[in-house]
């Protein structure tokens, strides 16, 4: 029996920049009880604008009318607009979760029957989001996704620069598929894998099948017809896709699923990496939960913390820690810390004094890839130092505008899916004197200058992991700095440092500094989206790079 449906063009206020953003909901009318929800991520918008999104989304809803009216189960079709565009990373991912939260508040969506789908850039994004947040989706279906970024390698290059590798690992589905665990996934004709691009390559099926087998994924792969840009829309039969979703079993959202430390925000608060054995090298943490126990496997990790409150046991690399060991070691938030000494793990107390609690710092993001990805999901303001001379101030202003432009025009995008990568996000560029305590508590900050030229850095300099110049060197026109046990005085040397804001414990600072204005200007040559926790550069060459420990000091 055909059910009546209605299509709604709705709006919400973005949690990133307070702008008004659209989304589309198609739903049965009336809705009788909790219903399933299919979230459909769009391909690249052409042009990248809300009008083109609304036009395309309404056409897509018309294609789904038969499924909405006559599927075996009533469901809501949800179409968000992702401003990260090609790939749904950064702000595009936040748009997705803002829309989902708003829809769950407005409609009776069953939280155990939320399905994720997308084609092209939407397929790449759906696969990425599923790897980062596997506990949110009951099943996933993607078409034409990019599986890895190898096709983006410069001509003749065998790999990307070493300092980018850690961050890039977080964006390669080929490395993260084990996160999805037993969640059902349908893959239609992947395009980009192991450097093979374009329409479906004969090798794709074999390589993808082998990859999915290695990760023990619960997957179906279809290669019957290639997905061509501007060609036939996907899914070709929306009702069949809806029935595929509804035929998947509905189970608990977390038990038996695996998570790794690559992914910002994907750990659901269970495990965090404190220190790597070899920063910058591939490092993995897999955690599998049951009702009262936690099983963790690690590689290349020397120090981690586990949220083990009410756990009867923790098994860490075949070592078992029972509740009588765990409970006395828990801090007030329910965390226990483990350190590896030799070949054995040892539980370490993390209890804090009242003095420690008075000045909390943010939880260190997993050191692969570092907090730069977390910043790109949230509110960010650029802060220019104004205490130097006019030339120094103008240089800082031009650098702020340059990085801001790269973040909005897509040239500094984490997505390797081709197409328009415009993010359409509004970022403020402020003078250091304009930053209020209230603003600092609500935004991550990109702070540009030195303690001599930027009053925020002068305020923070004794509390972050970089030391600046002596007065004698300033007279010579050099703002030297020291990090990672080395001092840098060359006139072309500069630094990116990602660290905690010591006065806003839930927010980050991206410090951009240099020995001279010319060195500071050279920071515009770098793509910030693949930064580790710190990078020292000379011109366009990286001199030193690495990660910070849980105390936010360089390792």
Tens-place pLDDT, residues 440-463: 999 999 999 999 999 999 999 989
Residues 6 or more apart from 158 whose CB is under 8 A from it?
Answer: none
The answer to whether residues 68 and 75 touch, using CB atoms and an 8 Å cutoff, is yes
Phi and psi based region of residue 462 (left: phi greater than 0; alpha: psi -120 to 50; beta: remaining): alpha
**274 neighbors 102 (Cβ within 8 angstroms):** no
Q: Coil, helix or strand for 203?
A: helix
Residue 29, Cβ neighbours under 10 Å: how many? 9
Q: Which residues pair with 546 in a beta bridge?
A: 534
- Residues with Cβ within 8 Å of 396's Cβ and at least 6 positions away in sequence, in order, are 384, 385, 388, 448, 449, 453, 454, 520
pTM for the whole thing? 0.80
Which strand ranges, in their side-by-side order, compose the sheet holding 467-468? 467-468, 481-483, 486-488
Give the pLDDT confidence score for residue 148 in this predicted structure. Answer: 82
- CB–CB of 412/527 below 8 Å? yes
For the record, the structure tokens of 167 come out as 């961050």
Residue 469 near residue 481 (C-beta atoms within 8 A): yes
CA distance 553 to 208: 40
Q: Is 178 helix (H, G, I), strand (E, B) or coil?
A: helix
Residue 376 phi, psi (nearest 5): -75, -5
CA 427/CA 415 separation, integer angstroms: 20
- Take residue 222 and report the two structure tokens written for it: 């279809």
pLDDT at 72 (0 to 100): 95
CA distance 421 to 409: 7
Domains of the chain: 5-246 (3.40.50.1820), 268-351 (no CATH), 372-546 (3.30.379)
Per-residue pLDDT at 510:
95
292 preceded by a cis bond (ω within 30 of 0): no
In sequence order, the β-bridge partners of residue 382 are 429, 446
Query: Do 378 and 84 contact (CB within 8 A), yes or no?
Result: no
What pLDDT shows up at residue 102? Answer: 94
The predicted-structure confidence for 335-387, as pLDDT tens digits, reads as follows: 888 888 777 898 876 554 444 333 344 444 433 345 677 788 789 999 999 99
| Cα 407-88-141 angle, rounded to 5 deg | 165
In whole angstroms, how far apart are CA 484 and each of 249, 372, 467, 487, 544?
51, 19, 10, 8, 9
Rounded to an integer, what distance in angstroms lies between the CA atom of residue 35 and that of residue 37? 7
Taking only the tens place, the pLDDT of each residue in 169-211 is: 777 888 778 778 788 999 887 666 666 665 556 676 777 778 8
pLDDT under 50: residue ranges of the chain = 252-268, 352-369
Q: How many residues would you count in the chain?
A: 555
Neighbours of 258 (CB within 10 A): 20
Answer for the pair 389, 402: CB distance below 8 angstroms, yes or no: no
């Amino acid at each position: 029996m055909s059910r009546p449906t209605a299509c709604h063009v709705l709006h919400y206020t973005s949690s990133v920049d307070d702008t008004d953003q659209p989304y589309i909901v198609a739903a049965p009318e009336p809705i009788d009880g909790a219903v399933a929800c299919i979230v459909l991520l769009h391909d690249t918008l052409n042009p990248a604008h809300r009008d083109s999104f609304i036009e395309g989304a309404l056409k897509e809803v018309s294609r789904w009318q038969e499924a909405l009216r006559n599927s075996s189960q009533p469901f809501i079709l949800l179409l968000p607009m992702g401003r990260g565009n090609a790939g749904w990373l950064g702000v595009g991912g936040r748009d997705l979760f803002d829309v989902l939260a708003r829809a769950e508040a407005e409609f009776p969506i069953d939280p155990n029957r939320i399905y994720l789908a997308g084609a092209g850039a939407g397929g790449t994004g759906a696969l990425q989001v599923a790897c980062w947040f596997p506990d949110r989706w009951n099943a996933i279906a993607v078409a034409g996704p990019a599986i890895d970024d190898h096709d983006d390698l410069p001509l003749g290059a065998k790999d990307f620069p070493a300092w980018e590798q850690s961050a890039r690992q977080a964006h390669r589905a080929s490395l993260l598929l084990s996160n999805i665990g037993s969640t059902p996934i349908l893959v239609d004709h992947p395009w980009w894998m192991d450097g093979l691009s374009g329409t479906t390559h004969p090798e794709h099926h074999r390589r993808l099948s082998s990859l999915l087998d290695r990760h023990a994924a619960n997957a179906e792969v279809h290669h019957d017809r290639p997905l061509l840009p501007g060609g036939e829309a996907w899914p070709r039969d929306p009702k069949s896709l809806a029935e595929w979703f509804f035929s998947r079993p509905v189970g608990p959202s977390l038990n038996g699923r695996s998570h790794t430390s690559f992914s910002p925000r994907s750990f659901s608060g269970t495990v965090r990496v404190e220190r790597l054995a070899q920063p910058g090298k591939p490092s993995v943490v897999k955690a599998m939960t049951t009702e009262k126990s936690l099983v963790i496997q690690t590689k290349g990790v020397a120090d981690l913390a586990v949220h083990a409150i009410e756990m009867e046991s923790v098994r860490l690399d075949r070592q078992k820690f029972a509740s009588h060991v765990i409970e006395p070691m828990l801090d007030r938030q329910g965390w226990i810390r483990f350190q590896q000494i030799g070949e054995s793990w040892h539980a370490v107390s993390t209890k804090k004094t009242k003095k420690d609690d008075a000045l909390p710092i943010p939880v260190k993001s997993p050191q692969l890839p570092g907090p730069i990805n977390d910043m790109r999901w949230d509110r960010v303001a650029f802060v220019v130092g104004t205490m130097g001379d006019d030339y120094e101030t103008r240089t800082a202003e031009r650098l702020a505008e340059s990085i801001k432009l790269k973040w909005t025009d897509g040239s500094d995008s984490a997505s390797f899916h081709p197409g328009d990568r415009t993010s359409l996000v509004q970022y403020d560029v402020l003078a250091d004197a304009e930053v209020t305590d209230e603003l600092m508590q609500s935004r991550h900050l990109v702070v540009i200058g030195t303690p001599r030229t930027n009053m925020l850095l002068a305020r923070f300099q004794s509390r972050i992991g970089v030391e600046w110049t002596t007065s004698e060197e300033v007279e010579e026109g050099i703002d030297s700095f020291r990090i990672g046990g080395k001092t840098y005085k060359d006139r072309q040397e500069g630094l990116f440092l990602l660290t905690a804001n010591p006065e806003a414990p839930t927010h980050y600072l991206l410090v951009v500094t240099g020995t001279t204005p010319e060195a500071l200007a050279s920071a515009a040559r770098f793509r910030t989206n693949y930064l580790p926790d710190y990078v020292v550069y000379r011109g366009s060459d990286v001199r030193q790079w690495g990660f910070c420990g849980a105390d936010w000091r360089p390792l």
